[in-house]
Structure 1
């Protein structure tokens, strides 16, 4: 029996697509997840070394999340059953492309996710997927506890597979909603016992992850629910896979977010809303990501103002003019702010410059 846990949406495989260059410092798949992948491949009479070779990858003992997806890509072409022999209701080839092709006709991201859930529920004959609005979040929920898996399916492989399902659904969101929707993902839940055997640790290392949950859930910022779709042409599995790879590479590259925000402030983009929009985030997502970097928009703005203030003071400009250029209400307000930032008044700072 073949138990392959490639990213399948309750049994839909991801397609072969072009490879794209990504940062070499992407998070790596954990050793236990690598072991599970090797066992799954062995069950199909294949080896990890062979799949690495077919994907043009070297066996270095570890895989980043993008290389992992490429291994799944290489395996998928050899499977004609889109349920991958895990379901009692096998899917004919082409089922998933048919489902995806209709999503671009939806009005909003929430409509598209509801259509996606309804389509696969119909195909699999059960209410395994649903979309909810809850606590300022848009949730995509998969409850597979009653799903008709084959009787001898390995529970570990099933949960490994379902974590990959979440990657696929997020790829659909990335495709339909663009950068803003991709970055609106707030947290992820999984039924897996822990993260040791999951690909989620690598794919979403920048997000809160909860294991041992009652269902598989993607939590998005509710602000994205009514956003119009950015993808007009019919979706295909190939386009979803391309977008998923791209956005996973981008989302794990936020270590310089504070520098990006400060750079925009220095360029004259002053409002938090404008900065968030430029980065493709909602304001709430920008706040959360800055907090994860032990910073805030206010702190970034004050750092930029402080640096500009020091530059202007070094030019021996009057306090009133410096305050005006920095958009303070008056010189007294600027004086208080500068002392808070530096522990000395602007005049004391100017005097210290003349003594150097």
Structure 2
């Protein structure tokens, strides 16, 4: 965490634009936020409070979330759009969300045939409205970046419904549950392989480099993000070697990753899965892919790939027309 939690100015601009569109009166001192760089979280708190009071709409957070554009998420929005699949975009979100704002944390959890993207807010002001804005924006973006071919299976909110549930369904367009203790979007595992309509490998790698640099400047790079960065550079390394690079013991690394809601095995699988698909797209021989990623042979790699995707490397290539 940085000493002064902050939010990208682009997210604040989304609120100010919504207020202008709805003709909501906001203090002039808050309108000036659009001229700043990153905005301290305490100032963002003031903006949210004024915005919600002026709107007098219990579902203003949902409405704002539905209206958010890719540009309001800083470079993270463009990075998510440039990923190959929905699953890769969710993993990138886990790594780079602090660039958008430091008011909460995301984590991914497997649950049978579904995957839960959990959001844990740290807001003290207008928590419910802000959580609804975050989850609504992700549901909206999921549909947009996949060309309407994928959407969340279900949304869960930790808080009770703030208005009639029919209004939520009208705005979100998917099943909902309230007062469930956690805020999350559930996705069918098969939908994670949905290709994105603006996938661009060169753009993605360029934006990753910029995002890594910005995270380091913010002092906001999570341990999970650092582990993934190390694994992308050295995919053959195991837990102890990666831990050594981060000045940790393997046991301490496990414990700290668990606190972030993940594990070394999950992070390694995510990175190797991404790298495997890219290498297969580049028409590398299976033996070369297995060697590059640290597998003992083609059979071990094929077994892992089938566990990640439900198909063989050959079937994956057939789907690409290779």
Class of the TM-score when normalised by the shorter of the 2 chains: 0.3 to 0.5
- Taking structure 1 as the reference length, the TM-score comes to 0.37
Greater fraction of residues in helix = 2
Which of these two proteins has the greater Rg computed from alpha carbons?
Answer: 1
- Taking structure 2 as the reference length, the TM-score comes to 0.40
